[in-house]
Structure 1
Amino acid sequence: MRPWLVFLHRYVGLAIAGFLVIAGLTGSALAFQSELDEWLNPDLFHVDGAQPPLSPSRLAARIEQAYPQVDIFSILPPAQGGDSIILFVGAKAGHGSLDYDEIFVDPANGSILGKRMNGAFRLDRAHLIPFVYRLHYTLTLPGNWGAWLMGGVALAWMLDCFVGFYLTLPRGRPFWKKWKPIWTIKQGAGSYRLNLDLHRASGLWLWAVLFLLALSGASLNLNSELFRPVLSALLPTSSRIFDQPIPPKPPTMSFDWDDALAKARTEAVRRGWDRPVALIYADRAHGFYMVRFGRDHEPGFGASNIFVSGTDGRTLSVEEAGGGKAGDMVASLMLPIHSGQVAGLPGRILICITGLVVTLLSVTGVYVWWKKRLARTSRRETRNPLAQLGKANIHAAE
């Protein structure tokens, strides 16, 4: 069995190494995605002064009046005084397409600070971090292909975590005495031994984090295709409002942004929530608003959502972070684990470091395979006199 597992670990690792280098390096940066984006683009994220913001409905009305082709579907209120408001937009029916999908707005007067196309490859600082995120998540491949590919890589990586761990276990006794050196890096070793020790020791010390990153990555990329069906089969889960069929005729949403926000805040107070509003999203196809409570990178289970009917203001559904059935709790943990925010700033630092370790594991693994391959080739040639004679003739001809 062990030779077969060695074969599996070797070639699965080689197949996914390049993808893991990209995922590791981009993931390290994305552990501090918001901070890096704001640092690179202060002109988009910050405004002078801290005047009272316009209400979401008034702000949306001003933007749609200035840009009649724009359909606003998400509003991100300012986190604090001096922050801009971010609008996620699309083109209204009959207006073609837009070359941007984010608008940054001064919350006090509705003036436009800037626009960008989230995830587009453009050589400027405004688009850098969103592009890094898209590269991490989809390799910038079109449609769902990139997400499926990286989800498949995560599944293979998750399997390889177990295989790699098993291969570190020593054969024979005393077990602990033989296993202990594998957790360490030999001082003064040559390049091959150094790379082998780095590969084994770093993988062992961070094994649990690496496995959780692989699991959460697969769950996020293959959520509806694989993760949710498997989770629902194993644990009780609640039905999700987004999974409801879209009505043939879109409902008329008589409630506006301000109405939905007021209704959601009332429900949040009733439930004892004391968290800021992070996002208001209008799903016009289903006819509801989603109001998210809880900012990015808060420790714990992440944000909570309240869904409000756009036709009569009823509370349709509530997704409370860390609440619901057992399956809901597991599902809500996947993004906080993957980003590190489940443990706050220390968790994000750990994810940043682990992303670099993933790159190290990939590079050292390929190096160890390459050196072993050279050694095997050399041994075969040594045992084959004809090969040696042929090589000598070539050198003589030169």
Structure 2
Amino acid sequence: MSATLPASGTRTARAAGAVHPGYRTLWRWHFYAGLFVMPFLIVLAITGTIYCFQPQIEPLLYPHRLVVTPADSPRLPADTLLDKARTALPPEAKPIRAHIEASPARSAEFVFALANGRKESVYVNPYSGDVLGTLDVDSRFMQVDRMLHRKLLLGKPGELLMELAACWTLVMIGTGIALWWPRVATDGKRTSLRSALWPRFSTKGRPWWKSLHSVIGIWLAVGALAFVVSGLPWTGSWGKQFKALATRVNVGAPRGAWGGGLPLKSTLPGASSQTDHAEHAGHDMSSMPGMVMDDLPLPNVPWAVGAVKVPQSPDTAAQENTRFTLDQVVALMRDSGVASGYDVALPATPSAVYTVSYFPADPQKERTVYIDQYSGKVLKDIHYADYGAVSQVISYGTSLHMGRYFGLANQIVCTVISLGLAALAVTGFVMWWLRRPSRTVGAPSRERAAPPMRAWKIGLALLAVIFPLMGATILAVLLLDWLAFGRSRNLSSS
């Protein structure tokens, strides 16, 4: 999968032309794709590898907050721990989330929304009730790493750039495979499969780098393709639209997630069901209509339920009544088979619900539960089996992509693929540097008589239709290439 930037040399040009018709065209597109995605691949590789090892890294970064010494005494009730956590922040801070963890060596964690808009995590010793410390949610190392991975810390523009980089990586992979495919050399002898799959250590200089680059690329091709495809559904533009579409045609979110059945809101004692409305769990939703599960203050929400609409709040206030406690929620979830490792969005307004999100390593155990905050009645309990076919596949892809599904081995596989992609970027740059042309970009020269290449054109057209944002950039590349270099001008030879 060579993203080389060729230099001059008519002899090499004749050799490349003898390979097969369309070789230069594929090479040119591979060059443009590699030129664009190269820096993004390095960022994605580093941040992705770090995030993959979050379970091991975070306790090392924040040992005095996250880690406690197990004690013989029983853990304090969850509501008691929540009250202890309140004392660490100003009175106006509102609790919006609780992380339920049964591990004897982990602290209790609660997240509060502050008056200035920030979110603060408070950590409490579950045995003594001592506050261990706080962390700004958005400044937490893994959150910064995650936002770098998803949007380069640039908001929506960065999110779109990363989505484009993923799409163009598909082009880079496809053209790379086509360029690598064992072919007939100029002397009539077919390239051996061994030399195509193993670096040529007998060579030196640029040929050695090219051999290394192509071998790394072909070994990683399948894994890299799986990485890209499994990551695209989580992108903020195409992924969001695809999720909404999958939900509407009933292949994404569970049946009934968009309405019908029991209301996804707490029933106020004495209130009429006809006049009941709902409210975003933990937030005043009166001025924020149309919110979905992805907008809840939860760190992880299964892809299948991300587009499920969140109930809105009523305009009228209600009298305070006896509420279902956090301890009762924990007991209810434990009785239903979920004892640890989930998050609860806390109801902060009269008609809000408890929203439980369980996002374990095994997709088939995923759960999303809505609980009436007064009666404790389960309004809806969404399991993996309720997902549409598309969401079931994406759930497995997500777990594998994040290195969660089969433990440490999965993390190692993800690391090899991620760092391998970074190596492709580095080796591609080195090849260009060794044979860089003067005063030109170094794109491979055009073919004098380009073949039809119908399959290639159909493939590009399909990508443009499936990913409209990428389609726009394909047109932009074609236009800029034509304007800058003309129809027949050769920038350099290969």
TM superposition score normalised by structure 2: 0.65
Partner of residue 290 from structure 1, selected from 355, 358, 363: 355
Residue 331 of structure 1 is matched in structure 2 by: 394
Moved over 6 A (4+): 173-176, 250-253
Pairing 1:214–2:277 present: no
Q: Judge conservation of contact 2:124–2:130 (CA < 8 Å) in 1.
A: yes
Specify the SS of the correspondent of 1:342: coil
- Count of residues paired in the alignment: 360
Pairing 1:361–2:424 present: yes
Question: Cα distance, 1:63 vs. partner?
Answer: 2.5
Matched ranges for 1:1-398 at <5 A: 1-50=22-71, 51-65=73-87, 67=89, 68-91=91-114, 95-98=115-118, 101-120=120-139, 127-142=140-155, 144-172=156-184, 177-222=191-236, 225-229=240-244, 231-232=246-247, 236-239=251-254, 240=257, 242=293, 243-244=308-309, 246-249=311-314, 254-266=323-335, 268=336, 273=337, 276-282=340-346, 287-293=352-358, 295=360, 298-299=361-362, 303-321=366-384, 324-374=387-437
Task: Describe the superposition over 1:339-367 as per-residue Cα deviations: whole angstroms up to 9, x where unpaired.
Answer: 12123221111112222111101111222
Amino acid across the alignment from 2:209: N
Q: Judge conservation of contact 2:102–2:339 (CA < 8 Å) in 1.
A: no
Question: Cα distance, 1:164 vs. partner?
Answer: 1.7
Cα distance in structure 1, aligned partners of 2:189 and 2:97: 57
Cα distance in structure 2, aligned partners of 1:181 and 1:260: 61
Q: Judge conservation of contact 1:87–1:104 (CA < 8 Å) in 2.
A: yes
Q: Judge conservation of contact 2:370–2:381 (CA < 8 Å) in 1.
A: yes
Q: Which moved more, 1:223-232 or 1:29-38?
A: 223-232
Question: Cα distance, 1:16 vs. partner?
Answer: 1.4
Q: Judge conservation of contact 1:282–1:288 (CA < 8 Å) in 2.
A: yes
Question: Cα distance, 1:17 vs. partner?
Answer: 0.8
Q: Judge conservation of contact 1:264–1:315 (CA < 8 Å) in 2.
A: no
Task: Describe the superposition over 1:176-214 as per-residue Cα deviations: whole angstroms up to 9, x where unpaired.
Answer: 854542211001321312221222111111212111111
Cα distance in structure 2, aligned partners of 1:185 and 1:375: 29
Task: Report the CA distance shift for 1:145/1:261 in structure 2 as closer, same or farther (over 3 A).
Answer: farther
Question: Cα distance, 1:20 vs. partner?
Answer: 0.9
Question: Cα distance, 1:301 vs. partner?
Answer: 5.0
Q: Judge conservation of contact 2:101–2:340 (CA < 8 Å) in 1.
A: no
Specify the SS of the correspondent of 2:430: helix
Unaligned runs of 5+ in 1: 121-126, 380-398
Q: Judge conservation of contact 2:365–2:383 (CA < 8 Å) in 1.
A: no
Cα distance in structure 1, aligned partners of 2:159 and 2:133: 29
Task: Describe the superposition over 1:30-74 as per-residue Cα deviations: whole angstroms up to 9, x where unpaired.
Answer: 221121111122111112342422222222233335532222222
CA RMSD of aligned residues (A): 3.2
Amino acid across the alignment from 1:63: A
Amino acid across the alignment from 2:326: W
Unaligned runs of 5+ in 2: 1-21, 259-292, 294-307, 443-494
Cα distance in structure 2, aligned partners of 1:83 and 1:65: 20
Amino acid across the alignment from 1:361: L
Cα distance in structure 1, aligned partners of 2:88 and 2:356: 25
Task: Describe the superposition over 1:82-131 as per-residue Cα deviations: whole angstroms up to 9, x where unpaired.
Answer: 2111222212xxx3344x522211112332211122342xxxxxx44432
